[in-house]
Structure formats: C-alpha cells, structure tokens
Structure 1
C-alpha cells in the first residue's frame, strides 16, 4: 500500500506542467508535489503515475516516493488564481502526492552526464511504459544529490485512453529518437536482458494493486477494478518480452561537451 497523508497547507502551484500540480505540506511534516484528479488529464494520469512510478522503483530506478494524498480544497482558499481555485475545488478527496526534492535541478542533457548503463535502463523503461514525455525539450528528470531521478509519468501507458485499441497501440514500436538520454549511447537490449526477467506476473499484480479502486471504477468495457488491473498487467508483460526490439534510437551526432567550470562548481555545491 502507498502511505496515506493529508494536506494541511497549500504552498504554491507549479505552472510548468499542463496539469498544474501544486506543492502542498502534509500532516506527516513532509512536502509533496500533488497531482490533482480534477486536472484536465483526469484520473488516468494518476493511474499512470502510480503504475509507472512504482514499477520503475521496483526495477531499481530512482523515483520519488508516491503517496495517497487526501486534499481538502479549503486549505487552498488563499490561492488568488481563479483557474487554479477551480482545479482545487474539483479535486477534493483522494489525489496523488510525490515527494518534493528540495534543491533539485531540472536535467539538461547538455550539462549533466548519465552513464550509458543507466541511460539504457531508463530508455528501456520508458519504452516499456510507452512514455511519450521524456524528450530533450521536456526531460522530466531531476538531478538531486548528484543522482538522476525520474518524475512525471502521467503521459505514459497512453493506450489506456482507448481500451478497444489498446492491444494494437501497445504493440507499436517506441520512438526514442528525441529521448532526453539518447545522446548517452543507450543499449536497450542490454537493459532488457537485466530488467525484463524482473517484470513478472507477481510484480505487475503487486504494482497494479496499488491503484485505488475509485480511480479504476466504471471503466468502460470492464466489470470491476481488478479486471482493469489485469488488462494493464497483461499489456506490460507483453511489452517487456520484446519491446527492446522495437525501439528507434537517433544516431549520436556529436560528442557531449563537459559543462563549464562555473556551472559544475555550482551544481556540486547545490548537491553537496
């Protein structure tokens, strides 16, 4: 089970993403980036966050802790933006929180380096979950304490937006030509040899069980939340078997340049 926390203070909205998550303090004295179910992407974005994030964590990737976040819109009454007020009012109850990483920096592939083995695991993982939102334009990676952390998986599992065509969509190739880590010589086949055997039926059942029933209820074409969970597990198991054979990578056009000395010194100071 994901931990349950309750929001006690709405701090600020994060306007970089289309879903406008917010930084919220909780009753466990922690601070979280909260993804709201009232956002335009709806509850399926939260489902994708849970399944992708918790699967990534169990495969050894660094993903901030996810929590079940109970939110009362009353704590956000001080927010002056009317659109955000509407979002908060539509999101009372159970939402999703992601541990806030203070002092983290947005990943820039021209500044930060990633070892080829780690790049391989992340590219393969993104192909597995069908993540369309990890490009060099919008990496959805953070650098925290000199390590790379994966965030924002709400745009993954894109096939679940139309279950009638899900099997066909999930069988398609994965285009990683503009992936944020494509310049770091990823080898998806090597990552698949390491990680694919770990994606067992038991692991997928464990991960999908973390999704709250209320986010899966009344899904067209399914009788019960457990039926939806099995559909996610079946598609992910099928992709894990051979997705590495269907990943398109861009050729590396030039050598990565080291960051300037001033920036490297500043980053090391921030992450000390």
Structure 2
C-alpha cells in the first residue's frame, strides 16, 4: 500500500451551485477558485464544527487504510458570499459559515452503492466494517450506505456521523473501550468474514505517529471556542489521540462484537 503523509489544500468558494437537501446539514455542491466542484459541509449547519472534525479525521484515517476517498479540502467562505442568495434559509446558513469549512471533491456521475446490484468481496467488506467499528460510524446502513460507485470502484463518503462521543465528551475514555453495538446494522456485515485479518491490517497501519499526523490537520480554530470542553487546541487534539490509543489497544472488543452480530445474520 502506497501512503503519503496527509496534506489538505485550501480553496476559496466562488459559486454556490445547488443544495443537497439531505438530513439537517444542508450540504451543497459549490465551485472553488481551482475550477473544481466540491460537496461543501458548512460549519454553521446542524451540529456544527464537530461534524467537520469527524469528516476530516475519519476520512483521512480511511485514506491511510487504503480506501478510495474523494480529496478533502478546506474551503474558505467569504463574508460577502451569501448577500445575493435569494433563499433565506441558505443565506442564513452561508452567513453562519463564514470562514473555514470542509469540502470533498464532487465525483461527477457517481452512483449510490446498491448491495443488491454490486457484490463486495469479503476482504474489502471486512476492512470497511472494521473501520466503521473503530470510529463508531452509525451511518453505513442499507438505508444510507454512504458509498458510491465511480469509475467501477467503490468510494467511501460522508463520515460526519462518526465519533459521536465528541459531541459531549462525557465518559469518553469509557466509550473508547466499548463495543460498537450499532455495527449490527452495517450494510456490509454479512460479507465481513475476515474481520480478524482486517483488524491486524488496521493495527499495523494506524500507528500512533500516523494518527497524530491526521489529528495535526485539524485547524486550531475548530478546537477552541464555546463548543470545546478543553482549554487549548492541543489539549483537545491530544484527547482525540488518547481515544484512538485506547480504541486500537482494545480492538478485540469491537471486533468480537461485530463477529457476534454477524453470526445472527448468517
């Protein structure tokens, strides 16, 4: 597996193309000053910056594990951008999201993954299930797979619902040691027969240094302010580091939970 240290480009939003009215977050397709289209997630939407942090951390962990992930970029939204927007709801969202947001490259022509149409092999299914159990991703179900087929390859998208512990940070060290009960609803669990192999591969890849590289990408401004229970950005960042340290050290717990859940399906 070829791996490069993660780098995140910063682009400026120049055109609002169309909203993607999914859930409560109101992401949108936008054009940036590099002339590419992106799916933009707004800091002023729904659960705010925590969703962007989860999207960044988990997306780059997935990339480190070798999955196909659209390029993630920081997207700057100018304060004047929303003044001409006629839709009041969107205008309010744009005004609340001035500054640094997060986007992912728009995969033109991609289609939603359908498990009935496309069969995923046991190795890939197991690695995806392992990733989602690690990061407590509640949003990879048959109802909403958050996977796309693009150019005959499977791409993982939309990880903002992961790491749900960080919305309150209550008992987060205890939560790091818990199995992930909602893995029972994972769309690929029936095919995930190689979880032990996936576990070893994941542990070999996600070294403390690699996790720290990814956490260092989080802008300090996202880790401070009224939403943060920590005094400094570095203290906040290191809490994430400690969560993953515990979670990876106890990976047998969430792997066994996934295996037990799978037994009820086959």
TM-score normalized by structure 1? 0.88
Q: Which residue of 2 aligns with 1:183?
A: 190
1:61 aligns with 2:67: yes
Instruction: Tell me the equivalent position of 1:239.
Output: 247
Aligned to 2:3: none
- Contact kept, 8 Å, 1:25 with 1:31, in 2: the verdict is yes
Quick check: 2:177–2:253 contact (8 Å CA) kept in 1? Answer: no
The answer to whether 1:147 aligns with 2:153 is yes
Which digits, 9 at most, give the CA deviation of each residue in 1:5-49, with x for residues without a partner?
001110000012321101010011111000000001110100111
| Shift, 1:140, TM fit | 0.7
Q: Are 2:56 and 1:50 equivalent residues in the alignment?
A: yes
What residue number does 1:121 align with? Answer: 127
The equivalent residue for 1:159 is 165
Distance 1:86 1:220, change over 3 A: closer
In structure 2, the residue matched to 1:103 is: 109
Structure 1 residues 179 and 28 mapped into 2: Cα distance closer, same or farther (>3 Å)?
Answer: same
2:230 is the counterpart of 1:228: no
2:262 maps to which of 226, 229, 250: 250
Secondary structure of the structure 2 residue equivalent to 1:163? coil
Inter-partner Cα distance in structure 1 for 2:140 and 2:94: 27
Q: Give the TM-score normalised by the residue count of structure 2.
A: 0.90
> 1:134: which partner in 2?
140
Partner Cα distance (2:84, 2:194) in 1: 49
CA contact (8 A) 1:185 1:252 kept: no
CA contact (8 A) 1:7 1:70 kept: yes
RMSD, aligned α-carbons: 1.7
Q: Which runs of 5+ in 2 are unaligned?
A: 1-6
Paired positions, count: 254
